[in-house]
Chains A and B, each alone.
Chain A
Amino acid sequence: MPKILIADDSETITTLLTTALESNGYEVSVASDGHQAYQLGIDSEHDLAILDQLMPGLLGIEVIEKWREEGIETPVIILTGVDDERTAVESLDRGAVDYVRKPFRLPELLARIRQRI
């Protein structure tokens, strides 16, 4: 079963995503801030990570950077806010494979995930 890491400081989003992903047959681990996300990524291998950009602790982009330093190549989708155009594009430069704007459409997100795994 493919394993996905979700990190967002909003419990709404993590619950939504966890429910949606689990119902589609993925195994999910959840973090609520940047540090936790980074740690989870180190502790076990994931097939994909969905990270919120603005999290307490480390930003989404920073988590990617630190993972890459440790040689962790998990593909990452960044979740960005509506006004965050610059960060969205920047995140692609910094190692994310895709970005999704909030508010998002579940079917679309699921499709993008299926593409990566």
Chain B
Amino acid sequence: MIFLKFDRRIFQHFDWTLLALVLAICAIGILNIYSAGFSASESHFPFYVKQIQWILLGLFFMIVVFLIDYRVICQAAYLIYGISVVLLIIVFFYGYTTHGSQRWISTGFFAFQPSELMKLALIIVLAHYFDKHNSDEPYKLRELFIPFVIVLIPCLLILKQPDLGTALIIMLLFASIIFFMGINWKSFAIALGSGLVLMPLGWYFLKDYQKERLLSFLNPEHDPLGTGYHVIQSMIAIGSGGVFGKGFLNGSQTQLKFLPEQQTDFIFSVFAEEWGFIGALVLAIMFMSLILWGLKIALHSRDLLGTILAFGITALISWEVFINVGMVLGALPVVGIPLPFLSYGGSAMICLMTAIGLLMNISVRSFILKS
């Protein structure tokens, strides 16, 4: 019963750096959401207050996950995965629809997005699988079939919602972990080749708006109206921030509500408009530090399980940060991925905080287990 044995060393070796980094980014997020909702007087319960609640709730989960040894948690990997799949199936049948896609389970008190939980569940189940099926050789295609199915099921359910962004993140996460575990080059070539062949087929499964988004990225002239408009407004907002920014609560694009989804997917534009290049640079460095710190934990973990887990979590955060920022900068297509710890949203925040709890868990136990 490892998880019941409270060890003082847990606190001695506590990863304060990680906590400080995450909390600092969250604090920036709160300020930002406050600003984004500043001129909107409609809500008596503003977004930033809710975001603080999500963060506190997230901290709670973080501590819970932190206290239980990650090896114990990973023993329940298939259970966690199974629950997540069931929740996605519930969404499929009874989900709550907003903006044309069915992503939410409404419990009456709050709405929950199982696809966020699925990201974490997949990291855990893949880490568990590769830990159990460890091999010295690079993996061959045949050996990757089961993990592929494990990823494919939720991926299809999420595509069906439709939530192209999350499905993409899941595929990237899978690819990252496989790359990290090592894949036979021939297998890699075959996988890539068949992927390219299947792509036109996948085109038929995309919703019209998703096709338009892809087309509008590949050829901006194609749709300057739908998502193109968002990106133009986002780029104007970011650019107009200049070197030093317009100052807190002074972003005109933000305050005039020219930005689409400015609490969620486009939150970085709000920040860059008000804090300028200097501010954005600081934020970018903070994210980069967080990512590198995550990789350090992966490297220092005492066992393979911890390494894969930590790597998976770090990969998830990295992809989300890069894709989101690339998107609002007009360098990537608009796929609707939130910026970790900054975008408004309960499900994502809670799941990310839980993931950070796991990271701390691995970080601390690398010290404890060694001696």
A binds B: no
Chain A interface residues toward B at CB < 8 A: none
